[in-house]
Chain A
Amino acid sequence: GQNIDQPTEMTATEGAIVQINCTYQTSGFNGLFWYQQHAGEAPTFLSYNVLDGLEEKGRFSSFLSRSKGYSYLLLKELQMKDSASYLCAVRDSNYQLIWGAGTKLIIKP
């Protein structure tokens, strides 16, 4: 079956750096997405990786290793507004998005 694993919850301090990991096992691979979702709201797109390596976008970076079935989202200079759930999703061979359960990130002052 298809499976995406990410930690359920993480806690970090304002101003610090946090890395959220995602491992996946899917039938085929056509890209990996990271989304941010605040409680009661729809997800918003953060990043997309299809080739190995690091994609940087401001305070957020995302890394992919296809051979290891592994990705991480790196958040720098954490702000209180970064408190949210972070969803990892993989697009499989049928171009369907397979979603992880999400990582709830709690930022403390």
Chain B
Amino acid sequence: GAVVSQHPSRVICKSGTSVKIECRSLDFQATTMFWYRQFPKKSLMLMATSNEGSKATYEQGVEKDKFLINHASLTLSTLTVTSAHPEDSSFYICSASWGQGHTEAFFGQGTRLTVV
């Protein structure tokens, strides 16, 4: 299957700082990328959907000024958690797809963010 690389896999940062998470599709062009957040023992929660070259569409309740998403190319999307707080600590996962047909979402490895 297709490969999606997410980096970093783990990050610890201080409150008030910003953290950037990268999501790359290595062997296909991802027209759409999705960013999820997952709390322990909970399901995936979609944060936003981004299409290359256009602004991301955020889910209700997700602050777009806090979670900045940039989808600059067909192979790269970034999520920046700005002014991070301990409650932002979570598992963040990206996924990518290239169309609306039978294309399962290919997931990155996930990023474990801990804000201290």
Interface positions of A (Cβ within 8 A of B):
30-31, 33, 40-45, 48, 50, 87, 95-97, 99-102, 104
Say whether A41 contacts B42, CB under 8 Å: no
Say whether A43 contacts B44, CB under 8 Å: yes
Q: What chain A residues lie within 8 Å of B34 (beta carbons)? A: 97
Bin chain B's interface residue count: 20 to 34
User: In the complex, how many angstroms separate the beta carbon of B35 from the nearest chain A beta carbon?
Assistant: 12
Q: What chain B residues lie within 8 Å of A40 (beta carbons)? A: 91, 110, 112
Interface residues of chain B: helix, strand, loop or mixed (majority): loop
Which residues of B in the span 83-116 have a Cβ within 8 Å of any Cβ on A?
91, 93, 100, 102, 104-110, 112
Say whether B43 contacts A33, CB under 8 Å: no
User: In the complex, how many angstroms separate the beta carbon of A48 from the nearest chain B beta carbon?
Assistant: 6
Say whether B49 contacts A42, CB under 8 Å: no
Closest residue on chain A to residue B4 by CB atoms:
A42
